[in-house]
Amino acid sequence: MGYYVTVEPTVNLYVEDLNPTGNKTILFVHGWPGNHNLFEYQLNQLPRLGYRCIAIDCRGFGLSDKPWDGYDYDRLADDVRAVIDAFQLRDITLAGHSTGGAICIRYMARHGGHGVKKLALFAAAAPSLIQRPNFPSGLKEQAVLDIISGTYSDRPKMLRGFGDMIFYHHVGPALQDWIFQLGLQAASWSTAAIAKTWINEVLFDDMAKIKVPTLILHGLNDRVCLYPLAVAQNKGIRNSVLVPFQQCGHFLFYDQMEQFNKELIDFTRN
């Protein structure tokens, strides 16, 4: 069932809440440039196993409001806090993919892990998506600048190019088109603003503040958030476990769907 949560006086987020009487709760935060529907093959399976699944459309994406600003990690983490408070969530697993994973890491540091019992990171864009003088493991900054310029000049073409990077296994045109349409549901300004946040922000100090058990799932063939990012997360987050996925790209919940769901279920149950 869908709800709207007010996170600022003029900003409302769309939130899907499935099986609200479930005995374990997972809160999903999607990656760029999609929305909560990227977790379709978790949202249509996990509630059958007794889970309550809550999935957010981040500001600027999906069915949520699309303000001009507020796309830094602090504000996005505060949006997650507003949802957790609105639903009075406790002892949840907070789960984030790609940029959503970065938002979850900032949430854990900024809000002291309020309401969160476990953290799950899927191909997270942390501690830095791009290379830096002290971190040579990310994408080159120019790759992100190209995304930003492509967003402003020909966003559909940019999204098509991004879609060519996210899978290891071949997927058919129907799935490619569906993901493309999810990207078009976002505002162009929010699409560009998040890419700018990748350049402007890092999460090295945030990782050290995480105190809950953390699962890190990452494809060895990820061409967006390169696998060394997962290694850095594992080193920087105490009590974390890294599970590498063979023959798997950035959208690991499609490339290795069965393994992805199994690892997440095992982590939340144990």
Reported as a single tens digit per residue, the pLDDT across 199-249 is 999 999 999 999 999 999 999 999 999 999 999 999 999 999 999 999 999
Q: How confident is the model at residue 172 (pLDDT cuts 50, 70, 90)?
A: very high
**43 by DSSP, 3-state: which?**
helix
One-letter amino acid identity for 168?
A: Y
**144 by DSSP, 3-state: which?**
helix
- Cα separation, 223 vs 226, in Å, equals 6
In the chain the domains, ranked by start, together with CATH numbers, are 2-269 (3.40.50.1820)
Helix (H) or strand (E) holding 143: helix 141-163
What per-residue confidence (pLDDT) applies to 212? 98
Structure tokens at 106: 């900032």
**209 by DSSP, 3-state: which?**
coil
What is the value of pTM for the model shown?
0.98
Helix axis angle for 141-163 and 173-184, nearest 10°, is 130
Region 255-268 average pLDDT: 98
Region 163-186 average pLDDT: 96
Share above pLDDT 90 across residues of the chain, in percent, rounded to a whole number: 99
What per-residue confidence (pLDDT) applies to 270? 84
Q: Are 28 and 53 in contact (CB under 8 A)?
A: yes
- Cα separation, 86 vs 72, in Å, equals 21
Taking the CB of residue 90, how many other CB atoms lie within 10 A of it? 11
Reported as a single tens digit per residue, the pLDDT across 93-135 is 999 999 999 999 999 999 999 999 999 999 999 999 999 999 9
**234 by DSSP, 3-state: which?**
helix
Bridge partners (DSSP) listed for residue 55 = 16, 28
Residues labelled catalytic: 98, 222, 250
